[in-house]
Structure 1
Amino acid sequence: MSIRLRLALWYGALLALVLGATLAVAFAVHVGTHESDVDASLRGSWEHAVAELDAVGMPMPMPMRLATLTAPTQAASAPTATWLMSPGAAPVVVGDANDAVLSRFDASTVGDGLRDTSVAGGRVRAYAADVPGLQGARLVVAASMSAFDASLGSLGLILAVMGVAGIALAVTGGWAISAGALRPIAKMTETARAIALSRGFARRIEVREDGRDELSELGHTFNHMLASLDDAYRRQQRFVADVSHELRTPLTALQGDLELLARGQLPPAEAAATLAEARQETRRLARLVDDLLVLARADSGPQPFAGKPVPLDEVVMEVFHELRGQAGSRLQVVDLEAGVVLGERDRLKQLVLILTDNALSYTPGGGTVLLSLRCDSSESVLVVEDEGIGISPQTAARAFERFYRGDEAQQLDPAGTGLGLSIAKWIVERHGGSIALGPRAPHGTVVAVRLPAVAQMESKVVATAA
């Protein structure tokens, strides 16, 4: 069942409930008011008849043949009659006693007070009581309710027909109105179907800019989602293209080296150089694949964070000793304070290695790379400074994008993949920190990593373990 039909039926059901209750109350009030008027008229006629009898002033018991009564006032325009009865005497009857319904009414069987009596052809409403001061005398005033009951039946039928017609009209109107209200949803469905078939995430839903209702808000949200999907899809396409390009370069070089070696015609010195080049390309390919695996895990969604207290100063010194052999005096630790962070030791070491290796790769001979670590009760700040080629504001703004490399960086280190800083940013954010990159005066680059101390990190670990 469609939402449109459900809305129309719910609207009709609600209206049926409200309309039914309203008509039922109106019908009951009408019946109650009419019968109250009848009851008041019957009592008034009974009291008037008693007053007439009292005005005669004859001794008691009074002979029934001497009793004189005037015809009672019709109760709510209904045929009405009065019976004065006494044991052993014929009753005195005045009024509309010859009415088709009242003529079948036996006044002697009516109990005291207001009573309803069913007779052939209708219903009789009567008020009966003994006459005060007249021993054995009983006075009954009755009205035929047949015309009123017939009118009630007609009224009930009219109200029922009006109610059904109103509900049908409401359902029809609800069906028509819901079509307009749900039109934006139909457009969303059409757009989503078209996107699924064509993968054209650039499409958007037409939404009124001044719309303030829920459907307009849904349309804006849907367009924002499409924009995000479009951006993600374009990034994925660019990523696949970049990966293909980065893999093709070492694979092509490796294939050429292997073909040369397979011919067996190279002099020993050239064969050794070709083999060394093949090994270098293999290592580059393995490094690229490892980096891609790290980023694939980062994109796969939140992952468990196995954080433990890690002395960050020890990690910095491990990296320093590992790279000091190839860097020599170009790599220096200028300021190292003891600091503990909550994290994954291997990831933190990978972070320091990436930043330090990047700084060494883009710092020509003679320049130095400085490592420093400053710690306090709230955070630990790792700073890596170099005297290399520097970085422009435009390059700094895109430095953490995957496969992005500035022109000078590509010239200085053609073997780079452009994935290191992306991985570094993921590691920092996984540990609840931040990373910033910018130029260093008078030349060079500075990278600052801020990681929360253990006490602060424990409160963030659940939210940042992504």
Structure 2
Amino acid sequence: MTRPVTALTALVGGLRVRIRQMPIVLRLVLAVALAMSIVLSSAAAFVYWRVQYALDQQLDEDLTVYQHSLARAVDSDERLPAGPTGSTYQILDSHGDVLHAGKAVQGGPLLTPAELDAVTHGRTIRRDQGALLPISPDPLRLEATRVTRQGRTMVAVAAVARGHRDEALRELLGQLGIASALTLLAASYVGYRTARAALGPVERYRRGAATLADGVPGLRLPVPADRDDELTRLGHTLNRMLDHLEASTEREHRFIADASHELRTPLTLLRAELDFALHRPRTADELTDTLRAVDTDVRRLIELSNALLDLEQLGSGEPIHHIPVDLTDLVHAATDRHRKAAAREGRTLTVATAPAVVRVDSRWMETAIANLVDNALRHGHGEVHIEAQAADGRLRISVEDHGPGFAGDFLPNAFDRFTRAEASRTSPGSGLGLALVAAVAASHNGTAHAANTPHGASVTLDLPC
């Protein structure tokens, strides 16, 4: 018993593997064909059962009427009646001997010994003789009951021909088989065409993706603009994903290009200073000056690297954390770190804030405010004024200085990476401060705006809080 079960399990497993390896279209067609086979078989079985029931009911009514008239004639010793067309009869004694019989059944008795014994003891037996398939000659439906005549027990067997009934059922089976086969073929063809039409966009998407995989830039999947079905929405989703991938790739390339371009200069200067120091023996003062210059270059490298990494982190789409923060504490935390540098230059930092609690990412907001203050200290003059206020769900932070302000041709590109005004190109800085400020504002769904005031430059952050 174990061996056949194992063989059947292996057969089913192999069949599943073959089906999974088929193309989706063929699997869909097989599923449609299987479902339609079940539906058609159920419908055909129901129709066949209803027709058979109606034919059997009519045949049984004719047989019952004929049996009653035959039993009444035997009991009253009358002439045996003629039954329906194709009907016949047998009158048997209790031993199974045929006393009277119609022409079609003049041979042996129609009942078996067991059936004869059951009928003589009062049972009524009804059964068919001959099969529907394969075709049997002279099929009958017979009914046998016990009758008495002059105190003698007899058995009256009435039989009606089933030929017309069986022929009608065989014809019905043939027609149902042909109709089911044609319907199954039509449904499979329609299912195949429908599946091909439905999966056509998927194949087009695959070909488009294959083209993209070959490295062709700027291509997108061919999505029809006049539809809004599941496959069309899938195409739009894939195109958005490709947009993000392309933007991510472009950001990565830009990061590498920016880093290589901006790091090259301080690294070259650092190498030149070290080579110069090692070229011949130096005094202690000369070595100290060289180390100070190297320290300046290293600091610039660290500042530039941190700024590039911060920009990359903000641009990567990494979620920021909005938490409740006291606005006054936030601004003071960002500005206090610059007070010593301002004092050394004889400049002042003034802060004006309105009491409020805002929901922002404190880490990035401190970085943005600190960059604005640092930018004002480097490129402006006089007092640096920081003002922050929250009202109507908006947070506005502005940093103003006293000085020449922004050059007119610099303002449109003030927040671009590595963009520096001509006057500031010789001053310290990486050109990434305002770009980082703009990235922080964008990550909070806000904006950054640079402008000139009557007494200097002003940069304002405006974002929801």
TM superposition score normalised by structure 2: 0.73
**2:336 aligned residue:** 318
- CA distance in structure 2 between the aligned counterparts of 1:61 and 1:284, rounded to whole angstroms: 129
- CA distance in structure 2 between the aligned counterparts of 1:410 and 1:132, rounded to whole angstroms: 136
Q: Is the 8 A contact 1:114 1:125 kept in 2?
A: no
Q: Give the aligned CA root-mean-square deviation in angstroms.
A: 4.4
**1:291 aligned residue:** 307
Q: Is the 8 A contact 1:439 1:446 kept in 2?
A: yes
In the TM superposition, residue 158 of structure 1 has moved relative to its aligned partner by: 6.2
Q: Is the 8 A contact 1:313 1:339 kept in 2?
A: no
Match of 1:259 among 275, 278, 285: 275
Helix, strand or coil at the partner of 2:346:
helix
- CA distance in structure 2 between the aligned counterparts of 1:209 and 1:61, rounded to whole angstroms: 89
Q: Is the 8 A contact 1:312 1:340 kept in 2?
A: no
Helix, strand or coil at the partner of 1:256:
helix
Helix, strand or coil at the partner of 2:387:
strand
Match of 2:87 among 76, 80, 83: 80
Helix, strand or coil at the partner of 1:206:
coil
**2:6 aligned residue:** none
Residue by residue over 1:289-345, the C-alpha shift from the partner in whole angstroms, topping out at 9 and shown as x without a partner, is 12233344446664795968663254155235234224533x431523455557776
**1:38 aligned residue:** 59
Q: Is the 8 A contact 1:339 1:380 kept in 2?
A: no
Q: Is the 8 A contact 2:91 2:100 kept in 1?
A: yes
Alpha-carbon spacing, 1:433–1:384, altered in 2? closer, same or farther (3 Å): farther
For the pair 1:218 / 2:230, whether they are aligned, the reply is no
Match of 1:17 among 30, 38, 56: 38
- CA distance in structure 2 between the aligned counterparts of 1:230 and 1:300, rounded to whole angstroms: 12
Deviating more after overlay: 35-44 vs 120-129: 120-129
**1:282 aligned residue:** 298
- CA distance in structure 2 between the aligned counterparts of 1:91 and 1:391, rounded to whole angstroms: 133
**1:447 aligned residue:** 460
In the TM superposition, residue 246 of structure 1 has moved relative to its aligned partner by: 0.7
- CA distance in structure 2 between the aligned counterparts of 1:14 and 1:392, rounded to whole angstroms: 74
Alpha-carbon spacing, 1:336–1:169, altered in 2? closer, same or farther (3 Å): closer
In the TM superposition, residue 386 of structure 1 has moved relative to its aligned partner by: 3.0
Quick one: which amino acid aligns to residue 24 of structure 1?
A
**1:405 aligned residue:** 419
Give runs of aligned pairs for residues 299-338 of structure 1, distance below 5 A. Answer: 302=318, 311-316=329-334, 318-319=336-337, 321-329=339-347, 331-338=348-355
**2:17 aligned residue:** none
Helix, strand or coil at the partner of 1:141:
strand
**1:237 aligned residue:** 253
Deviating more after overlay: 227-236 vs 385-394: 385-394
- CA distance in structure 2 between the aligned counterparts of 1:61 and 1:148, rounded to whole angstroms: 31
Alpha-carbon spacing, 1:87–1:117, altered in 2? closer, same or farther (3 Å): same
Quick one: which amino acid aligns to residue 207 of structure 2?
E
Quick one: which amino acid aligns to residue 371 of structure 1?
I
In the TM superposition, residue 251 of structure 1 has moved relative to its aligned partner by: 1.6
Residue by residue over 1:68-118, the C-alpha shift from the partner in whole angstroms, topping out at 9 and shown as x without a partner, is 2332113xxxx3224466779974545x63499x97457956575571144
For the pair 1:419 / 2:437, whether they are aligned, the reply is no
Alpha-carbon spacing, 1:378–1:231, altered in 2? closer, same or farther (3 Å): closer
The percent of aligned pairs where both chains have the same amino acid is: 23
Match of 1:116 among 109, 112, 127: 127
Match of 2:79 among 62, 65, 68: 68
Structure 2 gap ranges (5+): 1-20
Give runs of aligned pairs for residues 336-347 of structure 1, distance below 5 A. Answer: 336-339=353-356
- CA distance in structure 1 between the aligned counterparts of 2:49 and 2:237, rounded to whole angstroms: 51
Q: Is the 8 A contact 1:333 1:371 kept in 2?
A: yes
Q: Is the 8 A contact 1:336 1:373 kept in 2?
A: yes
- CA distance in structure 1 between the aligned counterparts of 2:431 and 2:148, rounded to whole angstroms: 117
Helix, strand or coil at the partner of 1:223:
helix
**1:383 aligned residue:** 398
**1:360 aligned residue:** 377
Quick one: which amino acid aligns to residue 6 of structure 1?
R
Helix, strand or coil at the partner of 1:444:
strand
Structure 1 gap ranges (5+): 54-59, 453-466
- CA distance in structure 2 between the aligned counterparts of 1:274 and 1:290, rounded to whole angstroms: 24
Residue by residue over 1:400-430, the C-alpha shift from the partner in whole angstroms, topping out at 9 and shown as x without a partner, is 55x2525x26745654323334444565677
Helix, strand or coil at the partner of 1:200:
coil
Quick one: which amino acid aligns to residue 399 of structure 2?
V
Match of 1:143 among 139, 146, 160: 160
- Give the aligned length: 428
TM superposition score normalised by structure 1: 0.73
Alpha-carbon spacing, 1:165–1:68, altered in 2? closer, same or farther (3 Å): same
- CA distance in structure 2 between the aligned counterparts of 1:381 and 1:426, rounded to whole angstroms: 16
Alpha-carbon spacing, 1:119–1:33, altered in 2? closer, same or farther (3 Å): closer
Quick one: which amino acid aligns to residue 84 of structure 2?
T
Match of 1:351 among 358, 368, 380: 368
In the TM superposition, residue 207 of structure 1 has moved relative to its aligned partner by: 2.8
Alpha-carbon spacing, 1:395–1:124, altered in 2? closer, same or farther (3 Å): farther
Alpha-carbon spacing, 1:93–1:400, altered in 2? closer, same or farther (3 Å): farther
